[in-house]
Chain A
Amino acid sequence: MTDIAATAAPSTQTPTLPARLAKGFVNRLVIIIPYLWLLFFFLIPFIIVFKISLSQTAISMPPYTPVLDFSDGISGFLAGFRELNFDNYTWLTQDALYFNAYVTSLIIAGISTMLTLIVGYPIAYGMARAPATIRPTLLMLVILPFWTSFLIRVYAWIGILKPEGLLNQLLMSLHIISQPLVILNTYTAIFIGIVYSYLPFMVLPLYSSLEKMDYSLVEAAEDLGCPPIGAFWKITFPLSLPGVVAGCLLVFIPAVGEFVIPDLLGGSQTLMIGKTLWNEFFSNRDWPVSSAVAVILLLVLTIPIMFFQQAQAKAQEQGR
């Protein structure tokens, strides 16, 4: 806040000491309040999750044995270390269910991210090439569904995809199919749900990088005899890469841990880790195991999340 002001101000007037102290205090408060809030409500909870993932299941409330109790002082704390219990993690590696759930979640998230990119790219491209006057309206129309409830948008698909639902009614009345398609409660339904729900997250970063692009480059390539498709892969796509990366991460990371979509559209047969965690917690009431599931999920997602941070930081630098 001060770079220029600090060099310019002393020549005209020197701030009084109380004023400077007050300013320093305000500056610090601006940082400290959100900092402490996030530390307490975002970072410390993760440490607790990690801690509880190392404890044993107990039939009590809360249903786990205490681990690393600080009430005994530092020696008690160190003694507690020796009693740490990795059973929940061994359990996770031994039971194929969890391993399958992680792998399936990653694969489903990966495929859905690709599908979202394929669906979203033409939309973003079309928006970016639209006449400048209607672009804000198009942008608004992409954002608007995001304001309506996620749960409602997923719910809307149940009525469309069920065996006696609207899609099957339409296809059968057009005589395209004679038997209703089974889509609901399959992985296909999960793909549709994820593509639909996360589409705005893909379109917006793509649009913002495509809109900034200089199209005279493409025109020049085409003038020099490059076919349109070649020009697209050689110029447009590489230049939109920051948007592609940001969009894919914004879809992929939350999709891995998605709960609502696999639960409502995927039925009981489909296996995804967010659903496993939920069931472990709410149905089996096994807090330590669900914490261990969360810790591993977080570890799996650490690398993509760090990529996301970097992309954000870079975008912020460029925005300056």
Chain B
Amino acid sequence: MNSTWSRFNITSIVLGFAFLYLPIVLLIVFSFNESKLVTVWGGFSTKWYVSLFHNQGLMDATWVTARVGVISATVATVLGTLAAITLTRYTRFRGRVLFSGMVFAPLVMPEVITGLSLLLLFVAVGLDRGFFTVTLAHITFTMCFVAVVVQSRLVSFDRSLEEAAMDLGAPPVKTFFQITLPVILPAIISGWMLAFTLSLDDLVIASFSSGPGATTLPMKIYSQVRLGVTPEINAACTILIAVVAIGVIIASIANKRREIQRQLDEQAAQRG
């Protein structure tokens, strides 16, 4: 295999990753720029971070976004996990085709359509637009991503464990919480994180489903970006990137540790 890891392959990977990472790196670098001109380097400074914390509008939006993210990701994880179980375990029930369609279609549906349709629903049922409606909208589109992540884990899950537990008399609910849940937990956690970042990230659906008093951070950033590129926005973006990056790194370390622990347990079990 190593002989085929040719110069061409290495070059394409290096160029590809440069393309993926360079814009983000430049954005972070210029958030520490002294000059107000974003693209001219005027020396190192953290003043934009300081002024960020005095920007009440941005801080409020951050707080709204964080609350929407945590609530919607949590509910979406529960619903998405149920949907994943339905997709993998119940291969025959009435309306299954419709159900799998409703799980997969939101993954590729243009956001403008999802946003508009949800808004019209909220208006039709007379819900006041605001924090609550943004949360409902985010639950709906993120639960489908959770379902796909959890489903891929469930497909490779060794069913004989569950069957053994039930043969030994464990009721289905207990079997789920003691056997299935611990095994699919990594997928559920990464599903939650995916839902959280998608919610954190979403501009279009939030713009449609939000109302006065519930401006999310992407909406705030968007309205400022339209007025021009400023170092303050670079600083806000850098903080967001840092938060997400730290979260992903912690999760992957925790995942690796659990994996090693599991291997050790298995080895111990085999010896015993």
B interface residues, Cβ below 8 angstroms from A: 1-2, 4-6, 8-10, 12-13, 16-17, 19-21, 23-24, 26-27, 30, 38-39, 79-80, 82-83, 85-87, 89-90, 93, 95, 98-106, 108-113, 116-118, 120-121, 123-124, 136-137, 139-140, 143, 147, 151-152, 155-156, 159, 162-163, 166-167, 169, 171-173, 197, 200-201, 203-204, 207-208, 218, 221-222, 225-226, 229, 233, 237, 240-241, 244-245, 248, 252
Chain A residues near B6 (CB, 8 Å)?
129
B204's contact among A52, A131, A259, by CB below 8 Å, is which? A259
Tell me if A174 counts as interface (CB < 8 A to partner B): no
Whether A257 and B111, one on each chain, are in contact in the complex, defined by CB atoms closer than 8 angstroms, is yes
Chain A CB within 10 Å, residue with most, of B26, B120, B121, B252: B120
Residues of B within 8 A of A35 (CB): 86, 95, 99
Contact of A34 among B4, B143, B208 (CB under 8 A): B143
Instruction: For the complex, give the distance between the alpha carbons of A149 and B105 in Å.
Output: 22
Is residue A250 contacting chain B, with contact meaning CB distance below 8 A? yes
Asked whether, in the complex, the Cβ of A131 is within 8 Å of the Cβ of B248, the reply is: no
A260 at interface, CB cutoff 8 A: yes
A31 x B112 contact (CB < 8 A):
no
A38 and B103 in contact (CB under 8 A), knowing A9-B167, A48-B121? yes
State whether A291 touches B16 (Cβ < 8 A): no
User: Contact at B4–A157, with CB atoms within 8 Å?
Assistant: no
Set of chain A residues within 8 Å of B19, measured between Cβ atoms: 119, 196, 199
Residues of A in contact with B, size category: 35 or more
Q: Enumerate chain A residues within 8 angstroms of B98, measured Cβ to Cβ.
A: 43
- Whether the Cβ atoms of B166 and A274 lie closer than 8 Å is no
A interface, CB within 8 angstroms of B: 1, 4-5, 8-9, 12-13, 19, 22-23, 26-27, 30-31, 33-35, 37-46, 48-49, 52, 62, 119-120, 122-123, 125-127, 129-132, 138, 140-142, 144-145, 147-153, 155-160, 162, 164-166, 169, 196, 199-200, 203, 215, 249-250, 253-254, 256-260, 264, 274, 277-278, 281-282, 287, 290-291, 294, 297-298, 301, 305, 308-309, 312-313, 316, 319-320
Task: Across the A-B interface, give the 6 residue pairs with the lowest CB-CB distance, nearest first.
Answer: A257-B110, A45-B117, A122-B12, A123-B16, A126-B9, A34-B83
Q: Is the CB of B39 within 8 A of A162?
A: yes
Known contacts: A34-B79, A145-B24, A287-B120. The answer to whether A23 contacts B172 by CB under 8 A is: yes
Q: Are B110 and A166 in contact (CB under 8 A)?
A: no
